[in-house]
């Protein structure tokens, strides 16, 4: 199986709306500098199945990125995905669901896996509740600590400290031949999460900022900066990929900074990147 990074950017991706910094301008000019909203696809070519983890506002471009991956469309006119797993309710991670309704693709009974709290948010708020009512999507509840068996992989979820104004936030451990963590959005690392990262083969984790000083309103939107995360994970055997990268992050345009990260054995995710799992 493989994981394809469909979006390696922070919620609004790069370029960010209304921003004309060097990084955003360069992303407007060339596609390779662009980062779509945060999402990954877990793809089984053998079974022709594809599951998305988080659905960003850039979903329509991300569905196009599945072309050539051998995934199956269940019904003509529907999307080539068998289900969606959500981490939390922030805009960049779930708003793509809005594209599944009658106004566009009019999906039929697409399973959306999330926590009971997140499910209750979707059930009680427009437009998500309309999608449930019209059976475009079906909510499947995930319980922290309980393993889920899918056709060709297992999965478990765990709580993640993050701004939970709306619902709660989880990270995923996906078990294929390898153990893979997906934690795109977190306020800070706990000892427990650091231990989890060290135990698995692959971890795709929050790399929003390089340093705390790059955004003046850092305290409103805290994330563990890459430079601290590298220090905490020094010596780990895990293959680590930083994702959810903000336009302010210097790894976007500063080659030396990027090399510094890579020379320490860490990877910076990019849109379209494939990771064998």
Rounded Cα–Cα distance for residues 189 and 6 (Å): 24
What minimum distance in Å lies between the beta carbon of 11 and Zn ion?
Answer: 4
Rounded Cα–Cα distance for residues 236 and 230 (Å): 10
Q: Which residue has the tokens 């669901």?
A: 97
Identity of the residue, 9 or 80, whose beta carbon is nearer to Zn ion in the bound complex: 9
Question: The tokens of 54 are what?
Answer: 């988080």
Identity of the residue, 37 or 83, whose beta carbon is nearer to Zn ion in the bound complex: 37
What minimum distance in Å lies between the beta carbon of 67 and Zn ion?
Answer: 26
- 180-207 core/surface letters (b: 16 or more CB in 10 A; e: else): bbbbbbbbebeeebeebbeebebbbbbb
Identity of the residue, 6 or 49, whose beta carbon is nearer to Zn ion in the bound complex: 6
Identity of the residue, 74 or 163, whose beta carbon is nearer to Zn ion in the bound complex: 163
Identity of the residue, 174 or 183, whose beta carbon is nearer to Zn ion in the bound complex: 183
What minimum distance in Å lies between the beta carbon of 162 and Zn ion?
Answer: 6
Q: What are phi and psi of 246, to 5 degrees?
A: -80, 160
What minimum distance in Å lies between the beta carbon of 186 and Zn ion?
Answer: 9
Residues that bind Zn ion (CB under 5 A): 11, 16, 19, 21, 24, 90, 92, 185, 247
Rounded Cα–Cα distance for residues 97 and 140 (Å): 14
What minimum distance in Å lies between the beta carbon of 243 and Zn ion?
Answer: 10
């Amino acid at each position: 199986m493989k994981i394809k990074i469909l979006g390696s950017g922070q919620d609004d991706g790069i370029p960010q709306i209304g921003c004309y910094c060097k990084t955003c301008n360069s992303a407007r000019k060339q596609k390779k500098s662009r980062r779509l909203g945060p999402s990954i696809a877990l793809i089984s070519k053998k079974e022709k199945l594809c599951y998305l983890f988080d659905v960003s506002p850039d979903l329509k471009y991300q569905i196009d990125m599945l072309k050539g991956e051998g995934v199956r469309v269940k019904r003509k006119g529907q999307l080539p995905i068998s289900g969606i797993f959500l981490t939390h309710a922030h805009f960049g991670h779930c708003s793509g669901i809005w594209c599944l309704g009658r106004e566009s693709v009019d999906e039929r009974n697409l399973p959306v896996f999330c926590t009971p709290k997140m499910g209750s948010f979707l059930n009680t708020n427009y437009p998500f509740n309309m999608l449930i009512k019209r059976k475009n999507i079906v909510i499947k509840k995930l319980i922290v600590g309980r393993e889920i068996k899918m056709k060709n992989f297992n999965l478990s979820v765990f709580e993640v400290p993050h701004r939970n104004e709306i619902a709660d936030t989880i990270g995923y451990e996906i078990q294929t031949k390898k153990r893979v963590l997906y934690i795109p959005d977190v306020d800070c690392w706990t000892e427990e999460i650091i231990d989890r990262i060290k135990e698995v083969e692959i971890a795709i984790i929050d790399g929003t900022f390089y340093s705390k000083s790059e955004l003046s309103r850092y305290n409103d939107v805290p994330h563990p900066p890459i430079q601290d995360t590298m220090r905490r994970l020094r010596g780990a055997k895990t293959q680590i990929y930083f994702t959810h990268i903000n336009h302010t992050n210097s790894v976007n345009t500063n080659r030396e900074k990027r090399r510094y990260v890579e020379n320490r054995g860490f990877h910076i995710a990019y849109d379209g990147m494939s990771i064998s799992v």
